[in-house]
C-alpha cells in the first residue's frame, strides 16, 4: 500500500454534496485507501439558497487535509503524487463570471425554485422539458428580470465546473453535468445546436455581446482528458504545499452521474435511486420519450446516453428533523441515545406499520417541489381522527413521504411512457438501515431494488472511478470497465416488496394526491 501511494498508482475523487464534502482515495482496482470529509449547510440569504466562495474553498481544503492526514496515519507517508483526480458536485444551479473571473452574483444552487417563468417559457419554446433548477433556467430568469450582471457574463457553469476551472484553468464539464445546464444531443455528446440557436434567437433583442456557446463550458465524455492540476491549483487544494502539480483530471461531473457510476447503472435498462437530502431516480433509456413531461428531466450518463430523471428537492430532511426531536426527548428523560441506533430504530419500526400508513398523511417539503407544482414548502403532518396513530405507522409515513413525490414522477415513466428497467439500485443515507428503505422503494416502483456493498461509498467514490477510467481507456466502454474491473463478483442485496405492500403504497398515493391542497394551504397560511 505504501508503494502504491508513493508511486501515485491511485485516483482521488472529491464530491460536494448538499451537507457534506467527501474525498476518497482509491487504488487501481477501485478499493478505498483513505477518506476525508467536511460538513456544511447551504445558507438562505436574500431569498436565495447559496454557499459562499469561502465555504466552498474552506470545505474543499478541510476535506482534502483530512484525507491526507488519513493517508499519513494509515501508511506513514505524505500524499505527494496522485494518478488522477476528479471533482463532482450537486448538479444544476448558477455560477456566472465576468472577464476577470469574478463571481457576478452569489451562487444560486439547485434548491432554488425562483425560475418558474423562465423554465415554462423555455420548455414551450424548445419543446423539451427545462426544469427550474437547470442552469439555463437561472440564466434566462436573470434576463427576464433584467438583472444588470447578465451583460457582463463571459462564462457560467456548475459548482463542479467552477472547482475544476480554478484548479486546471479548463472551462469544461462532463457531459452528464452539462446535460443539467442545457439539453444535450446524445448523438454528438454536445449541446443541442438547434436549441442553442433558438435560445440565441430568443435573447437577440437584448443585444448582449455574447452568444450562448461563448459562455457555456465545453462538454466532454467519460474517459476524455480534461486538463492537469496547475501549480496554483495544487496550492488551492493542498494548503500544506505537499501535493505535486501536473496530475491529470477527468471531466468534472454532477452527483447524478457519479451516482450512476457508483451503482454500476450506466448501461441501457439500468437505473438507480439516490436518496439523501434530495432524491432522484435515473433510468438509462432504450429510446427517447414520446412526450414532454414537466415532471421528468432528460439528462445523460457520463458517456452521453439519454437518461430519464425524476428529481425531487426533498427527501430525508423531515426524517432528520423528527430524529432530532426524538433525541431531545430521550435526553430529557435522562437516556441519551446513539444516533445510529436512533435511526435504525426509526427505520426498523416502519417495517411493522400498516401497508398504507393507517390513515396518516404528511409532506416532507422543506423547500419547493416543482414535480408537484410548489415553489415553496412547509413540512406538514395530518391524520384522520380515527387513524391508527402508532410509532410504526408514523415512521412508515415518514419513509413514504420521502419517496411519494418521486413515485408521482416514476409512475409517469412506467405507466405512460412504458420505460423498462431490468436493474434498479438504491444508494444514499435512506438505504443505510438494512432492508427498510429498499422495501419501501420496491413498494413504490413495484419491482426489485438492489443495494450493493459499495453503495455507501457514494458519489466521491463514483468520481474517483471516473478519474481511474480516464487512465484505463483500453478497458472499453465505461459500462464494460465497471462491470469487468470494479463490480465483478459483487451481487449486492436485493429486496422485492409483497403485493400487499405495493397495493398499500398505491392506496397511500391516492390519498397523497388528494391531500396536495393541504400543502398549498400550509404555504398560504404559514409564513416562511
pLDDT value, residue 458: 80
Residue % of the chain over a pLDDT of 90: 87
Q: pLDDT averaged over the chain?
A: 95
**What's the residue count for the chain?**
528
pLDDT value, residue 474: 64
What's the chain's Rg over C-alpha atoms?
23
E strand map for 28-160: 32-39, 43-45, 48-50, 84-89, 95-97, 155-157
pLDDT at 328 over 90: yes
pLDDT at 505 over 60: yes
Please report the DSSP string for 337-401 in residue order: --HHHHHHHHHHHHTTS-TTGGGEEEE--SS-BGGGTBSS---EEEE-TTS---HHHHHHHHHHH
| 499-514 vs 391-411: helix crossing angle, rounded to 10 | 80
Q: What is the mean pLDDT of residues 170-190?
A: 96
pLDDT value, residue 457: 65
pLDDT at 169 over 90: yes
Residues 90 and 88: their CA atoms lie apart, in Å, by 7
Range name among 70-79, 91-100, 357-366, 485-494 with the lowest pLDDT average: 485-494
Judging by DSSP bridges, how do beta strands 449-451 and 20-27 pair with one another? Answer: unpaired
Q: Which three cell numbers stand for residue 339?
A: 444516533
Residues of the chain with CATH 3.30.420.40: 255-313+409-495
* Integer angstrom CA distances of residue 180 from 133, 159, 213, 333: 8, 12, 15, 48
pLDDT value, residue 456: 58
Give the model confidence (pLDDT) of 410-462 as tens digits. Answer: 999 999 999 988 889 998 889 989 999 999 999 999 999 999 876 556 889 99
| Residue indicated by cell numbers 451481487 | 491
Judging by DSSP bridges, how do beta strands 218-220 and 172-174 pair with one another? Answer: parallel
Under 8 Å between Cβ of 218 and 173: yes
pLDDT value, residue 99: 97
pLDDT value, residue 422: 87
Give the model confidence (pLDDT) of 212-231 as tens digits. Answer: 999 999 999 999 999 999 99
pLDDT at 288 over 90: no
Residues 281 and 295: their CA atoms lie apart, in Å, by 12
pLDDT value, residue 429: 86
Q: What is the mean pLDDT of residues 484-500?
A: 90
CA angle 369, 372, 374 (to 5 degrees): 50
Residues 108 and 94: their CA atoms lie apart, in Å, by 5
Give the model confidence (pLDDT) of 127-139 as tens digits. Answer: 999 999 999 999 9
Taking the CA of residue 136 as centre, how many other CA atoms within 13 Å lie in the half-sphere pointing to its CB?
32
CATH 3.30.530.50 for domain 255-313+409-495, yes or no, is: no
pLDDT at 335 over 90: yes
Residue 526 pLDDT class (50, 70, 90 cuts): very high
pLDDT at 475 over 90: no
Q: What is the mean pLDDT of residues 102-125?
A: 95
Q: What is the mean pLDDT of residues 260-270?
A: 91
Range list of H helices, 79-178: 116-126, 135-144, 159-168, 175-178
Amino acid at each position: 500500500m505504501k508503494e502504491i501511494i508513493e508511486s501515485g498508482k491511485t485516483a482521488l475523487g472529491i464530491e460536494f454534496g448538499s451537507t457534506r464534502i467527501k474525498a476518497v482515495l482509491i487504488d487501481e482496482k477501485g478499493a478505498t485507501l483513505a477518506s476525508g470529509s467536511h460538513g456544511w449547510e447551504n445558507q438562505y440569504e436574500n431569498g436565495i439558497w447559496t454557499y459562499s466562495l469561502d465555504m466552498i474553498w474552506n470545505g474543499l481544503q478541510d476535506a482534502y487535509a483530512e484525507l491526507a492526514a488519513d493517508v499519513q496515519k494509515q501508511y506513514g507517508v505524505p500524499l505527494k503524487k496522485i494518478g488522477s483526480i476528479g471533482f463532482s458536485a450537486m448538479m444544476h444551479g448558477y455560477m456566472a463570471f465576468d472577464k476577470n473571473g469574478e463571481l457576478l452574483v452569489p451562487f444560486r444552487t439547485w434548491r432554488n425554485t425562483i425560475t418558474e417563468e423562465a423554465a415554462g417559457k423555455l420548455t414551450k419554446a424548445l419543446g423539451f422539458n427545462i426544469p427550474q433548477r437547470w442552469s439555463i433556467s437561472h440564466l434566462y430568469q436573470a434576463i427576464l428580470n433584467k438583472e444588470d450582471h447578465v451583460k457582463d457574463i463571459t462564462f457560467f457553469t456548475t459548482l463542479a465546473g467552477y472547482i475544476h476551472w480554478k484548479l486546471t484553468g479548463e472551462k469544461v464539464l462532463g457531459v452528464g453535468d452539462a446535460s443539467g445546464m442545457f439539453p444535450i444531443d446524445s448523438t454528438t455528446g454536445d449541446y443541442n445546436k438547434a436549441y442553442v440557436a433558438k435560445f440565441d434567437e430568443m435573447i437577440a433583442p437584448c443585444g448582449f455581446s455574447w452568444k450562448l456557446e461563448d459562455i457555456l463550458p465545453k462538454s466532454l465524455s467519460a474517459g476524455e482528458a480534461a486538463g492537469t492540476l496547475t501549480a496554483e491549483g495544487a496550492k488551492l487544494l493542498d494548503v500544506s504545499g505537499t501535493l505535486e502539480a501536473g496530475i491529470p483530471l477527468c471531466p468534472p461531473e454532477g452527483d447524478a452521474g457519479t451516482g450512476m457510476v457508483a451503482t454500476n447503472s450506466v448501461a441501457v435498462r439500468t437505473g438507480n435511486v439516490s436518496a439523501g437530502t434530495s432524491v432522484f431516480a435515473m433510468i438509462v433509456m432504450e429510446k427517447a420519450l414520446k412526450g414532454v413531461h414537466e415532471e421528468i428531466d432528460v439528462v445523460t450518463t457520463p458517456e452521453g446516453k439519454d437518461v430519464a430523471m425524476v428529481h425531487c428537492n426533498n427527501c430525508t430532511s423531515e426524517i432528520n428533523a423528527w430524529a432530532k426531536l426524538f433525541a431531545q426527548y430521550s435526553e430529557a428523560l435522562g437516556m441519551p441515545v446513539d444516533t445510529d441506533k436512533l435511526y435504525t430504530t426509526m427505520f426498523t419500526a416502519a417495517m411493522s406499520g400498516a401497508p398504507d400508513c393507517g390513515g396518516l398523511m404528511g409532506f416532507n417539503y422543506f423547500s419547493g417541489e416543482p414535480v408537484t407544482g410548489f415553489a415553496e414548502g412547509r413540512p406538514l403532518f395530518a391524520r384522520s381522527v380515527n387513524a391508527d396513530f402508532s410509532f410504526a405507522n408514523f415512521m412508515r409515513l415518514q419513509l413514504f413521504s420521502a419517496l411519494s413525490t418521486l413515485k408521482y414522477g416514476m409512475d409517469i415513466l412506467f405507466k405512460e411512457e412504458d420505460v423498462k428497467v431490468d436493474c434498479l439500485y438504491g444508494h444514499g443515507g435512506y438505504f443505510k438501515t438494512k432492508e427498510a428503505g429498499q422495501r419501501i422503494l420496491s413498494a413504490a416502483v413495484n419491482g426489485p431494488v438492489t443495494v450493493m456493498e459499495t453503495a455507501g461509498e457514494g458519489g466521491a467514490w463514483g468520481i474517483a472511478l471516473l478519474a481511474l477510467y480516464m487512465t484505463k481507456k483500453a478497458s472499453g466502454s465505461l459500462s464494460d470497465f465497471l462491470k469487468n474491473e470494479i463490480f465483478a463478483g459483487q451481487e449486492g442485496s436485493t429486496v422485492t416488496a409483497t403485493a400487499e405492500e405495493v397495493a398499500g403504497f398505491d392506496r397511500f398515493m391516492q390519498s397523497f394526491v388528494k391531500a396536495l391542497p393541504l400543502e398549498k394551504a400550509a404555504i398560504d397560511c404559514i409564513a416562511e
